[in-house]
Structure 1
Amino acid sequence: PADIVVTGSARAERRFDVSYAVNSLSQAEIQKLAPASMADLLGKLPGIQVEPTGGEVQNITRVRGIPTDGGYAYFQQDGLPLFHEGDGYFFRAADLQRYDLMDARMETVRGGPAPIYASQAAAIVNNLTVSGGETPKGKAQLTLGTTGLYRLDLMQSGKLGDRTYYAIGGFIRYNDGYRDNGFPNDKGGQIRANIKHDFDNGSIKITANYLNDHNVFYLPIPTADPRNPATSLNPYINYFSGTMNSPALRNVNISYLDASGSRQTLHRDLGNGRHMQFGNLGIQYDGDFNGWIVSAKAGFTKGKLSFDAFYSTTNPVDANTFANSYLGAARTAFGSGVSRIGYAIAGTNGQTAYNPSADSGLVMQGQYRAVESSFYSGQADFSLTHRFETGIGAHDVKVGLYASAYGETLFSVYQNYMVQVKGKPATLDMVAYSASGGVLGYVTDNGALNDASTLSQGNVDAKMYAVYANDTWTIAKGLRVDAGIRHEGYTFDGYALLTSTANLGNASTLADDATRRFNGSIQPHKLSPQITNWTVGANYDITRNFGGYVRASHLEIPPTATVAASVDPVILTTKANQFEAGLKASFGRSYLYLTGFYTKFNPYNASFVAFNPTTGRNDQTVPFYGDVVVKGVEMDGALHIAGGLSVAGSLTVQSPKYKNLTNTSGADPSQVNGKQIIREPKLFGNIRPNYAFDMGGNHVEIYGTYSYTSKRYVDFFNQTALPAYGTFGVGLTASRGTWQFQAVGDNITNAHGLTEGNTRTDILSGQGTGNAIYGRPIFGRNFRFILSKSW
């Protein structure tokens, strides 16, 4: 990895010299890894476990010691976020950053001083962009993939005038996808540009970003018959290519009543996926005034998200049993002449019958989610750094002020559908038939089992400020102590629209009898949380190549802005104490970093909202609060053996456990205490051998990867396991002059592995099986071929 890092320290330093875990990947190193997504890239780094199975965006990233789906990883571009919080409404801040040729390198800090240098951060991911120079440089890169991937990346940089430089680049991409939706998975791209002017003592840089991208979201699929878990559903839903996404959901109509009682109808298309559009303008200034380093950065982001996805809800069920459960309600609504409930392809007026026993004998529910959000985020950071020489060593002091004004609008509506248990399923109507086969009514409404079952809308505007300071005290050669503090104040001003039950008045169906409507009431929220984070560390380098460090940090995470735009929100500030001890050795291109960590959360919010099959709503809140303790060791190393042969890798061994959980709604958490945290493995890592050689004027590298994730659980009680899995990847790069060809293959043995489980229903009691039979499988064997030309 690159030897110089700038993230998490007062000024640029050698990676070996800092007293925390940090990695830096250059553009060339990232290209060799050829990541399929940002999550895929982060998963190659030590101490970060990912579930990259959702597609290109909205994936799960867990930082060691941090038991949350985002790991409190804070994403920055050139040291400043594009959106202040780690998560927006149905998007992660990471989704605003797509890697391309405009990224010069990426630095990741895990633990350490992250809470001082960023808000809500147990880790920082900082993408540093390309700047122009005296010599014009450019690169074009074409990527083709076996998933129907076509991608073009371009970058050009150079000189505009006297000490003024430019860089511009981006990508455009089309991808059918890893799973067969019946429509494209990813389509869109981004462009980024900057102009930089150098002064005698510093520089100023103006930046611009624009992203317009569609990405389909993969949700869990059933993999085995719940009636007989030994029976695979692979003949109906292929493990590697199957998905519940379907062309049948490209013309969805969702109706609800607004506050005035007027009927509103949305027309949605699952093929739109997650459509993210945003623009960002930024400015950065750095100057050295006789040893006083001034840094000023500011940026403003404005965008909107339109999101369509088909979420998993309950397990598949026996089709006859499920149909018979509605017989009584159908007779009440349509008369005693109802003889049976049968299935038909939705939209055929009950005339195209469907017999589930001709397939698996199962049917299932799924939840269409339609989400709209607009967002903005302005942020600015000003810092002053100076080195003071004293009688006992030197103090490198950095003080700063950060502020942000940001906000979001929130709107979502969910509608539950009946579908076949097969890939690209047809939506199904449940039809009330008479003894003679006449249609008397419908349980469903054109495939919808529950019309507009969940409805929400709100708005929030937020302001925050942070003052921070850090002092790095070099006491003697090799011995340094540093301490930092950050205080933040927030104001949230938001509201949520309240809803109630409504009947849309269609007497021919049961599906609209209990929809949600806005009832005209508003629930306002004004919050003013204050938090204080701190860190203390010490570093002692015995030699220039061997040393160690210790560190303690305190992290507080305030409620997110969306809390102030939610109905009856849980308002909780999460607090965590982190302790680390590290050993480090660096000899030329070989190195070894060992970091022991201990993290305790108190209080920790383990609450969740579950799907209620009785109401069809996501209205079952199960509140768990208490302590979480995670301890373990992170290992990161590389060994250059001889010539062009080398091996790199990382391994994290940890013990993630719940402790002292409490519940305020009658659930007994005593059997949860001491159990492994949901979806957190005890061991994960990878090993990456590499052999480089020259042949016939070409520089060739052959490399491989083995990645491993140990057993996890889908539920608090550890009753249903996600089995351990490992995957092999291979790659080859051949370079000749300014041309380069690369071939990369992932999961080349088609190894099986499940992630997530079915989080809408199985978190509390599992799936009724020892091993999960419902989840997001890892992607099957696929290859990418990359041809690039530099100039």
Structure 2
Amino acid sequence: MRQSRGLFFVMAMFMVAPALAAPPGNRSAPSSPRFDIPAQSLADALDQYARQAGVQILYPYALAAALRSKPLQGRMPSRRALDRLLRGSGLAVVRFGDGIVTLRAVPPPTPARPRRVASPPPQPISAEPTPVPAEIVVTGRALQTPVTATQFSYAMTRIDAETLARAGPLSTADLFKQIPGFWVESTGGEASNNIRSRGIPTDGYSSVALLEDGLPVQYDGGLGYLNTDQIFRSDTTIDHVEAVRGGPSAIFAGNAPGGSIDFLTRNPLQKPGVTLSATGGNFGYARVDGYAGMRLTPELGVLIGGFYRRDDGLRDPGYPADRGGQIRAGLQYDDGTTRLSFNVKHLDDRVILYLPVPLQMDSSGRISPIAGFDPLYDTLAGPDNAAITFKTPSGARDFDLSKGTRSRIDFYTLSGRRALGSSAALEVKARLRTGYTSRDGLFPIGRPQSGDSYISTVLPQLGEAFPTASGAQICYADTDATFLPDSNGNGLVVGANLLSIALPMREFMGDVRLTGQVNRWGQHDLALGLTYADNRLDYDRTMGTVLLDVRGQARRLDVVAVDADGRPVGSLTDNGFVRYGSLFDNVTLKTANLALYVADEWKLSDHWRIDLGGRWERTRIGGRMELSSAVDLGDPRTLADDNVLAGTGIYQPIDRGFSGFNMTAGINFNPDPGTGIFLRLTRISRLPSASEFYADPERTDEAVVPIVMAEAGLIVQRRTWNLSAVLFRTHFKRLPFTDYRFDPVKSIYVSQTSIADTTATGMEVSAHARLIGPLSIDIQATVQDSRYVDFRYSELSGGTVVIHDVTGNQLIRVPRIALRASPSADLLSGRLRIGADLTHYSARFADIANSQRLSPFSMINAQISAQIGDHATLTLNGTNLTNSLGLTEGNPRMGSFDAGGMTARYFLARPEFGRTVRVTFRLSY
């Protein structure tokens, strides 16, 4: 009900706005109206012209937004005024009459064919500043006015439509590897990946907001088991991406201290056309994308697009790993005064979650595969675990690993803008999201060990339960065949949790923003906004722990106790389950967020700009959690059902509230049009996430976390090269860290929490240069020193409490050095492009104690793109061509505080994927 009221409120405000600003009556405009249009972007000038002339005007927005108009004043015929406004702009009138004006771009005249003369000697690269074109950037901005790259007081990366189409990333996270300062772990597959920015010590999308058309895809991107990228897919309906690193992102979006990444959809009025593409890959990958946009009238356009994809898996589980897609349909209206957009998107997709795999380390510290298991192409997930029944006190519950992460989500998005006079506007955005996500996954635990070693650890437990037992043996759960050292090529076994989660969610978000320009002591672009979001999330989680053999597509194992004559007397397991119901959660969460924000982009002069912003936000978290207790299901032949966690029917309420204030100030200096220098200081209050109260509604360690971020940047744009370099420092205070570790002996999760600070100091560099002839190179580098401050935790060892001090240790999983060099060659007048990505990451650590070191690694990717005719493109993408075994994370279920070091021969970690090759054929009209 709250979502419905919120949607009605926002829509009502937008409907009232036109009445407040509508021109009086239907009187005919005078034949020679009076014009008063100041110098500004040509797009804004044309909008003012339309209002003052009393006409509707349609024009190439992106082109006009990048141009500057001259002032126009005086009384004159409308056509003469328009011709004066367009003089030298490259735009021409196609239609003028009936109250509608249509403009188009005019190609430059073809120059006369010059006489053939000797080529002049090559000139040295000029270091003189050149004019930098202005463009419209909407993310992290108060107002959509044109700015140049050198006028920003924060770091921003733009990924255009051509780059999106050419890169063809395998996941949303894969795309973010093009953004400096971001450490991206895309080894989870198409969804459930991790992203970090500037040494921020939280995972998932808890500190980086993923937006679509300016609104969060999910308001809280850090919900447990519901990362934002699980419900978002990029396709050909996306026009471009704008990524803000740090800066003002925490002013315009919640949960965004590290940055915000905005996916902007295509506008059928500005970019009509048809795009079709088909992709095939060496891992059974097949994908079809499509987009169609058209103008029904000069003011009204429609679009439809989406994708469908299936594949056998980057690591083969023995069943289709990913299958599904999404479709979007939308309407766009723009008469020069009022802009309205409405679209509906439906996602129905299943994707596999790739988790750590078994590996071994030799005496020299070299990591290598285990016999019988290829870490680049194998996964423990397989058909043997695709359809299993859990035993619970209320009956059987089905588990289907082949479903993976299943999302069926509908998004309804409405946005609009109404001009209020010549210098103000009301902007409204609203989104309703309904549907559910379910997750069935196989999560490895502990370490691989030999079958004999495993038996020795459980034999005392079996002897206590079955007094006549004198030994034990391992056999396969489906055939009862004895498990032998050569059964799987290595004789190893490993534990795993089969986790099943249902996450139905309904969420409403609305943002109302009043913008305007004030010319006093310079020019102020102002924004005053209000954001409201509320959601209801149900969290139903159950889990069973099983024993597997170590192989690709692992099989379940049973451990049977035998007497002196070898006869079975009982069993540790049942159908491979060591414990049914090793985890249980039944939680309902209701969250309401309210935020007020204000921003001012203050242009003091042609050389100086100041950006100011503030945001106050309040979150209210309510709901209830069902208490659980252990139940014995009563089968005397096995221990697997003796301690099944189940709900008691008694609920504990959840009722928490937090509020905080964010503020930022930045200054930019342009010594010349091609150079920008900026400084920025930001203070953020990070509010706790609702999912932090899943298991303990009364926890007291959760509080508002103060964050201070400082950055200084240099942006240089030249004719043949450009450079962006940003120094940053980040300080988190009083941040709770939880060690959530699974005990494979007792088959339970144990946890402890410690509160500490973190600091990060570093530099991001992004550069592009045109080299000799057709050669170019792009370089990205991030160097950072991220450490824990005042971090101590305790451990019980031999009955004694031991305090460990890890102050000064490196933040987990974040490399100190990340390098990416992308050389390319444009041949045949730009119709053939050959490029490569060379990446290198320095060593990282899988735990806070820095005991488990993840070795440095490098990778090589390559790409060839050929233009065929005027409308077709053929692209070949290859990733990890050398099959580099690069580890991105260890196994979090071993513990994030101390994963036990690297003393054991066998361990679990998650590596990059093996070599892939994909071919895409694309048609655009």
TM-score, with normalisation over the residues of structure 1? 0.95
**1:645 offset after TM fit, Å?**
1.6
Matches within 5 A, 1:620-769: 620-663=750-793, 671-694=805-828, 699-736=831-868, 737-769=870-902
Q: Where does structure 2 lack aligned partners over 5 or more consecutive residues?
A: 1-132
- Are 1:40 and 2:174 counterparts? yes
Provide the secondary structure at the position in 1 that maps to 2:215: coil
Matches within 5 A, 1:364-403: 364-390=494-520, 392-403=521-532
Q: Could you say which residue in structure 1 is the equivalent of 2:190?
A: 56
Which whole-Å CA distance do the structure 2 matches of 1:184 and 1:561 have between them? Answer: 34
Which whole-Å CA distance do the structure 2 matches of 1:326 and 1:436 have between them? Answer: 20
Q: Could you say which residue in structure 2 is the equivalent of 1:274?
A: 405
Q: Could you say which residue in structure 1 is the equivalent of 2:738?
A: 607
Which whole-Å CA distance do the structure 2 matches of 1:356 and 1:532 have between them? Answer: 61
Which whole-Å CA distance do the structure 2 matches of 1:231 and 1:528 have between them? Answer: 47
Query: Is the 1:356–1:363 contact (alpha carbons within 8 Å) kept by the matching residues of 2?
Result: no
Which whole-Å CA distance do the structure 1 matches of 2:837 and 2:367 have between them? Answer: 32
- Any idea what the Cα deviations from partners look like across 1:445-475, whole Å, max 9, x if unmatched? 1000111111111001111110000112222
Percent of aligned pairs with the same amino acid: 27
Provide the secondary structure at the position in 1 that maps to 2:666: strand
Aligned in 2, Cα 1:534/1:495: closer, same or farther, shift over 3 Å? same
Which whole-Å CA distance do the structure 1 matches of 2:564 and 2:366 have between them? Answer: 37
Which whole-Å CA distance do the structure 2 matches of 1:679 and 1:635 have between them? Answer: 21
Q: Could you say which residue in structure 1 is the equivalent of 2:370?
A: 234
Count of residues in correspondence between the two structures: 779
Moved more, 562-571 or 731-740: 562-571
- Any idea what the Cα deviations from partners look like across 1:544-601, whole Å, max 9, x if unmatched? 0012000010122211122344335452322210000001101146210110000000
Query: Is the 2:793–2:805 contact (alpha carbons within 8 Å) kept by the matching residues of 1?
Result: no
Query: Is the 1:410–1:457 contact (alpha carbons within 8 Å) kept by the matching residues of 2?
Result: yes
- Any idea what the Cα deviations from partners look like across 1:691-742, whole Å, max 9, x if unmatched? 10217xx810000000111100112221221001110011100002101100
- Any idea what the Cα deviations from partners look like across 1:420-464, whole Å, max 9, x if unmatched? 011111100001123333222211010001111111110011111
Which whole-Å CA distance do the structure 2 matches of 1:217 and 1:316 have between them? Answer: 20
Provide the secondary structure at the position in 1 that maps to 2:823: strand
Provide the secondary structure at the position in 1 that maps to 2:187: helix
After TM superposition, the runs of 4+ consecutive aligned structure 1 residues lying more than 6 A away are 225-231, 664-667
- Are 1:204 and 2:340 counterparts? yes
Q: Could you say which residue in structure 1 is the equivalent of 2:687?
A: 558
Which whole-Å CA distance do the structure 2 matches of 1:384 and 1:440 have between them? Answer: 76
Which whole-Å CA distance do the structure 1 matches of 2:367 and 2:867 have between them? Answer: 49
Matches within 5 A, 1:57-96: 57-70=191-204, 72-96=207-231
Which of 564, 570, 595 aligns to 1:435? It is 564
Query: Is the 2:328–2:346 contact (alpha carbons within 8 Å) kept by the matching residues of 1?
Result: yes
Q: Could you say which residue in structure 2 is the equivalent of 1:286?
A: 417
Query: Is the 2:518–2:524 contact (alpha carbons within 8 Å) kept by the matching residues of 1?
Result: yes
Query: Is the 1:412–1:455 contact (alpha carbons within 8 Å) kept by the matching residues of 2?
Result: yes
Which whole-Å CA distance do the structure 1 matches of 2:368 and 2:606 have between them? Answer: 64
Matches within 5 A, 1:118-197: 118-122=253-257, 123-133=259-269, 136-197=272-333
Which whole-Å CA distance do the structure 2 matches of 1:385 and 1:535 have between them? Answer: 19
Which whole-Å CA distance do the structure 2 matches of 1:11 and 1:646 have between them? Answer: 34
Which whole-Å CA distance do the structure 1 matches of 2:189 and 2:588 have between them? Answer: 28
Query: Is the 2:440–2:499 contact (alpha carbons within 8 Å) kept by the matching residues of 1?
Result: yes
- Are 1:448 and 2:586 counterparts? no
**1:626 offset after TM fit, Å?**
1.2
Provide the secondary structure at the position in 1 that maps to 2:454: helix
Which whole-Å CA distance do the structure 1 matches of 2:903 and 2:423 have between them? Answer: 63
Which whole-Å CA distance do the structure 2 matches of 1:638 and 1:228 have between them? Answer: 40
Which of 648, 651, 658 aligns to 1:529? It is 658
**1:613 offset after TM fit, Å?**
2.2
Which whole-Å CA distance do the structure 1 matches of 2:425 and 2:136 have between them? Answer: 18
Query: Is the 1:495–1:566 contact (alpha carbons within 8 Å) kept by the matching residues of 2?
Result: no
Q: Could you say which residue in structure 1 is the equivalent of 2:56?
A: none
Query: Is the 1:728–1:748 contact (alpha carbons within 8 Å) kept by the matching residues of 2?
Result: yes
Aligned in 2, Cα 1:495/1:563: closer, same or farther, shift over 3 Å? farther
Q: Where does structure 1 lack aligned partners over 5 or more consecutive residues?
A: 258-262
Structure with greater Cα Rg: 2
TM-score, with normalisation over the residues of structure 2? 0.82
**1:126 offset after TM fit, Å?**
0.3
Which of 605, 609, 612 aligns to 1:476? It is 605
- Are 1:316 and 2:448 counterparts? yes
Which of 710, 714, 723 aligns to 1:592? It is 723
Provide the secondary structure at the position in 2 that maps to 1:424: coil
Moved more, 546-555 or 248-257: 248-257
Which whole-Å CA distance do the structure 2 matches of 1:304 and 1:255 have between them? Answer: 24
Moved more, 14-23 or 768-777: 768-777
Provide the secondary structure at the position in 1 that maps to 2:589: strand
Higher strand share: 1
- Are 1:103 and 2:233 counterparts? no
Moved more, 157-166 or 479-488: 157-166
Aligned in 2, Cα 1:97/1:435: closer, same or farther, shift over 3 Å? same
Which whole-Å CA distance do the structure 2 matches of 1:439 and 1:579 have between them? Answer: 67
- Taking only aligned residues, the RMSD between alpha carbons, in angstroms, comes to 2.0
Moved more, 153-162 or 568-577: 568-577
Tell me the amino acid that sits aligned with residue 265 of structure 1: A
- Any idea what the Cα deviations from partners look like across 1:647-676, whole Å, max 9, x if unmatched? 112100000000112447877665310010
Q: Could you say which residue in structure 2 is the equivalent of 1:419?
A: 548
Which of 539, 547, 566 aligns to 1:410? It is 539
Q: Could you say which residue in structure 2 is the equivalent of 1:463?
A: 592
Which whole-Å CA distance do the structure 2 matches of 1:459 and 1:203 have between them? Answer: 38
Which whole-Å CA distance do the structure 1 matches of 2:251 and 2:416 have between them? Answer: 21
Query: Is the 2:143–2:527 contact (alpha carbons within 8 Å) kept by the matching residues of 1?
Result: no
Which whole-Å CA distance do the structure 1 matches of 2:720 and 2:528 have between them? Answer: 35
